[in-house]
Structure 1
Amino acid sequence: MTQAITPAATAHALPRTDAQRLWNALMELARLGATPKGGVNRQALTDLDRQARDLFIDWCKAEGCTIRIDSIGNIFARRAGSEPHSPAVMTGSHIDTQPTGGKYDGCFGVLAGLEVIRTLNQHDIRTRAPIEVVAWTNEEGCRFSPCMMGSGVFAGQLGLDDMLGHTDADGIRVGQALDDIGYRGQDSVATSEIQAYFEAHIEQGPILEDTERTIGVVIGALGQRWFDLTLTGMEAHAGPTPMNLRKDALLGAAELTQAVNRIALEHAPHGRGTVGSLAVHPGSRNVIPGEVKMSIDLRHLTPEALIEMAHALERAIDEVCQRHGLEHTLTPTADFAPQYFEEECVSAIRQGAEALKLSHMDIVSGAGHDAIFIGRVAPAAMIFVPCENGISHNESEFASQSDLHDGCNVLLRAVVQAAGVDQQKEG
């Protein structure tokens, strides 16, 4: 009979992953789209993305994995288990990058999953449940919006036909781009096929480094509400127009930027508020701005607080516009509910870190990740490792080989704990 090993047995029986092999894979993948400053520009569904996908598939096939590609281009690489019809333990992330991205964001999670399979193969360890490594399509959302597109379609949170019709700045549709690189698949992969999902990732923030912890046990992710705000005043000559008679849209935008910051601080510790972009019209030094378009990003761990923050924003906009004689249009552009990860998956990660005697802490993700969508349809959790100075979405993004290795070893233990080991195979 086959029998799943216990968490304690897992810790002692499993080997360590190969730190150098994982690092070499990351560096080889990073050559595709390498930038002069040491980063990576490999945006979704470009030819560079095709090359990265091809390389990933070649590596997986070399390990005996079967490959499936669904209609949004997600790649599923499956290592068979002794119970092939059991739901799979899935792990992965994404390999597309920002225009000025780094080597580790997303790529670590995909290649850590591959390293788990390589380690199990190297040591001839057969799991009961299949293990599946996935590379999700267009997580970054920089060429095509929205972000987390592939996992969102897979999880039924985003409509396939709608997403295939989204266009980039040149008018190229997602569907056309998938066809151009040969990655519009026809395989059907169901959410019911997932027993558990684990995603390893760099933290993309400074908390682990600041607290000198190696592993972040991610218990959940902040909900997000995004808005586009247009403030409309009146262009006028900067000299003849008295201050008290102006309708300065940029002055209103400045006050609302402060209000967004204040609202987030009032909802500490999990409140976040960011104005990430401003477009000022007409943009002349001696003309009072008549229009400003700005983005607003609100985040929190609880749905109630996120709603309160949005209401506070609406009140601030009304007050500022009334005081400065402005009109406004507020358009919601994204609404992601907070995500609490499955306790059993979270516990498996915590136990893995403890078994390896790695310093760890519970942590909340402030960024969006594919695990958020997958966590709505299957048990899921995430593993964070530190990144230098908390920097990500930047060509200087860096994570140490040692930390990446530790995170991969925790992933191995969590995946095998969920998948179980075929005791007959083990002797």
Structure 2
Amino acid sequence: MNMKPEVNAARLLASVADFAAIGATPAGGVNRQALGVEDRVARRLLAERALARGFSVFQDEIANLFIRREGRDASLPPLLIGSHLDSQPNGGRFDGALGTLSAFEALEALADAGVETDHAVEVVAFTNEEGSRYAPGCMGSMAFAGAGALAEWQSIHATDGPVLAEELATTLAALPEAKMRPIGHAISAFVELHIEQGPILEREDVPIGVVTAVQGTKWLEVTFSGKAAHAGTTPLEFRKDPMSAAVAAIASLQSAIMPTDPDARLTVGRIAAEPGSINVIPNSVTFTVDIRHPDAATLAVIERHVRDECEAASARWDCELAIKQRVDMPPGRFAQSIVEAIENSCERLGLKSRRMVSGAFHDALFVNRVAPTAMIFVPCRDGISHNEAEFVADHHMISGARVLLDVVERLGANSKAFRSTSL
């Protein structure tokens, strides 16, 4: 038997529903945080389905889960596809899971059709992409690509208390059927399907986004320190008011960065005042700044602008200033060859596509450091994600899975075809 592989739409949609039941929330989302009980249940279900199909199951020391369908030539590095299974505390049922389950559907479709590939094809569910229970996010893919070390994270406490090392050991022990392998192994390429988490595809009525890059991200923590004083008795000329400094800096940045550059992103997501009393001028105000841009040089210019504006506000309000950098993640530009392979699949399937840059970071950003990589986006309703209201229409899920399967068939079918699309 050697037929044309086809996505089994009913099977894929049922699979998405089955996994959405693991950690389901009353409002229709999921709470399946990394290395928790629900995460372990999802990993087991995926592993059991893989073993039932005769696929091999592996895990590494950081609990990245791999499902392997062998190829004709064991000497060739495998083609890797997949995403993650963990969610935000009140996340949606599609973020991460759709990419992992679409990848597994591709593996099943190849097996159903009896299609042999030269390269083995592996599905991966990376550990802790979200970073909601343990920070930083993308631990599994960072470790896989050598961008972070497990030893540095072992003592980190979860938001609900447990140390990472303990939950990791429990998670690994809960799946003894999975053979252990070292962290990181050679792969021929990586393709990740994901929901867009933005409104562009839906607004333009385009079913497939071909992701060419991931924006670079910098997180800064800004603290203005002034002098606490009575709100009613302290005239303006006697105030060293860090709140006024913070408000001035934030207002200036909000009006200067994004309005002048459509590719730029600037977000103040958290702000705290001390002592936090209604009738006391704060002693200090701390806020976070998330800046993003697909161009590294421009991102550096934006960071300099943030620092300059904060220094000016500090001087104006006679406050001390401290800025700490919490995250510095350079942009990732995906392999042109894999981008073109995805576009070619869209053309073969008669699906409209557009190139786009991802504003969120994904596991693909890190895997891109060690192998040719690109991403497939599908639309989500109103661009809503990290929210229980997150929704992807059935036909968009099926279209994304069909494109992924076609890409996998082309890249994995024979080594010559892959080499013709490699970097």
TM-score by length of 2: 0.93
1:277-288 pair list within 5 angstroms: 277-288=270-281
In structure 2, how many angstroms separate the alpha carbons of the residues matched to 1:376 and 1:348?
19
Are the aligned partners of 1:214 and 1:359 in contact in 2 as well (CA < 8 Å)? Answer: yes
Compute the displacement of 1:355 (Å).
Answer: 0.9
Aligned residues: 410
SS in structure 1 of the partner of residue 100 of structure 2: helix
Identify which range, 322-331 or 398-407, moves more after superposition.
322-331
Deviation string 1:196-245 (CA, Å, 9 cap, x unpaired) is: 10000000001101111100000001001111112212222211111332
1:157 pairs with 2:144? no
> Once the two structures are superposed, what CA deviation does each residue of 1:265-310 show, in whole Å capped at 9, x if it has no partner?
2651211100111112222222222222211111001110011011
Task: Report the AA paired with residue 344 of structure 2.
Answer: Q
Specify the alignment match of 2:60 in structure 1. 70
Shift, 1:110, TM fit: 0.4
Residue 385 of structure 2 aligns with which residue?
A: 392
Write the distance in 1 (CA, Å) between the matches of 2:99 and 2:311: 44
Cα shift at 1:170: 4.6
Q: Which consecutive unaligned segments of at least 5 residues does structure 1 have?
A: 1-12
Distance (Å, rounded) in 1 between the aligned partners of 2:377 and 2:127 = 21
Contact 2:99 2:192 in 1 (8 A): yes
Quote the RMSD (CA, aligned, Å): 1.7
Give the structure 1 partner of residue 33 of structure 2. Answer: 43
Q: Would you say the 8 A contact 1:198–1:381 is kept in 2?
A: yes
Asked if the contact 1:82/1:422 (under 8 Å) is kept, the reply is no
For residues 257 and 167 of structure 1, what CA distance do their matches in structure 2 show?
A: 32
The equivalent position to 1:358 in structure 2, one of 351, 355, 365, is: 351
Q: Which runs of 5 or more residues in structure 2 are unaligned?
A: 417-423
Mapping for residues 160-171 of structure 1, pairs under 5 Å: 160-171=150-161
Matching residue of 2:264: 271
Q: Is residue 278–residue 293 contact of structure 1 (8 Å, CA) maintained in 2?
A: yes
1:299-310 correspondence runs (5 A): 299-310=292-303
Match of 1:246 in 2: 239
Distance in 1 separating the partners of 2:230 and 2:300:
40
Change (3 A) 1:199 1:334: same
Task: List per-residue Cα deviations over 1:375-399 (Å, max 9, x = no partner).
Answer: 0110000000000000000000000
SS at match of 1:182: helix
Equivalent in the alignment of 1:178: 168
The question of 1:137 aligning with 2:127 is answered yes
Q: Secondary structure at 2:13's aligned position in 1?
A: helix
Which string of whole-angstrom CA distances, capped at 9 and with x for unpartnered residues, describes residues 337-376 of structure 1?
A: 1111001110111011111111110000000100000001
Q: Percent identity?
A: 39
Partner of 1:101: 91
Query: Contact (CA 8 Å) 2:63, 2:171: kept in 1 or not?
Result: no
In 2 relative to 1, CA 190–239 (structure 1 residues): closer, same or farther, beyond 3 Å? closer
Once the two structures are superposed, residues 399-426 of structure 1 have per-residue CA deviations (whole angstroms, 9 ceiling, x without a partner) of 0110010001000111111111599xxx
Does residue 31 in structure 1 map to residue 21 in structure 2? yes
The aligned amino acid for 1:392 is: S
Deviation at 1:169, TM superposition (A): 3.2
Aligned residue identity for 1:206? P
Which residue of structure 1 lines up, in the alignment, with residue 182 of structure 2? 188
**Are 1:213 and 2:203 an aligned pair?**
no
Rounded to whole Å, the distance in 2 between the matches of 1:252 and 1:168 is 34
Q: Which AA in structure 2 matches 1:349? A: I
SS at match of 1:371: helix
Q: Which residue of 2 aligns with 1:381?
A: 374
Amino acid paired to 1:190: G
Other-structure match for 1:9: none
| Equivalent residue runs for 1:261-340 within 5 Å | 261-265=254-258, 268-340=261-333
1:415 aligns with 2:405: no
- Judge conservation of contact 1:152–1:158 (CA < 8 Å) in 2: yes
Looking at structure 1, the residues matched to 89 and 124 of structure 2 have their Cα atoms a distance apart, in angstroms, of 22
3-state SS of paired residue (2:266) = strand
What amino acid maps onto 1:306 in structure 2? L
Matched, 1:82 2:82: no
Of 78-87 and 368-377, deviating more is 78-87
Tell me how far 1:113 sits from its aligned partner: 0.5
Note the C-alpha offset of 1:138.
0.3
| 8 Å Cα contact 1:63/1:117 also seen in 2 | no
Query: For 2:255 and 2:185, how far apart are their aligned partners in 1?
Result: 40
Aligned CA distance change for structure 1 residues 308 and 260 (closer, same or farther; 3 Å): same
For the pair 1:118 / 2:118, whether they are aligned, the reply is no
Conserved in 1, the CA contact under 8 Å of 2:72 and 2:118? yes
Look up the match of 1:259. 252
C-alpha distance in 2 between matches for 1:313 and 1:41 = 35
Q: Does structure 1 residue 55 correspond to structure 2 residue 45?
A: yes
The answer to whether the Cα contact below 8 Å between 1:224 and 1:299 also exists between their aligned partners in 2 is yes
**Hey, what's the Cα distance between the residues in 1 that align with 2:415 and 2:296?**
42
For the residues of structure 1 that align with 2:413 and 2:160, how far apart are their CA atoms? Answer: 48
| 1:201 correspondence with 2:194 | yes
> Are the aligned partners of 1:260 and 1:275 in contact in 2 as well (CA < 8 Å)?
no
Per the TM alignment, residue 164 of structure 1 is displaced from its structure 2 partner at its CA by 2.1
2:11 is the counterpart of 1:18: no
Q: Is the 8 A contact 1:109 1:199 kept in 2?
A: yes
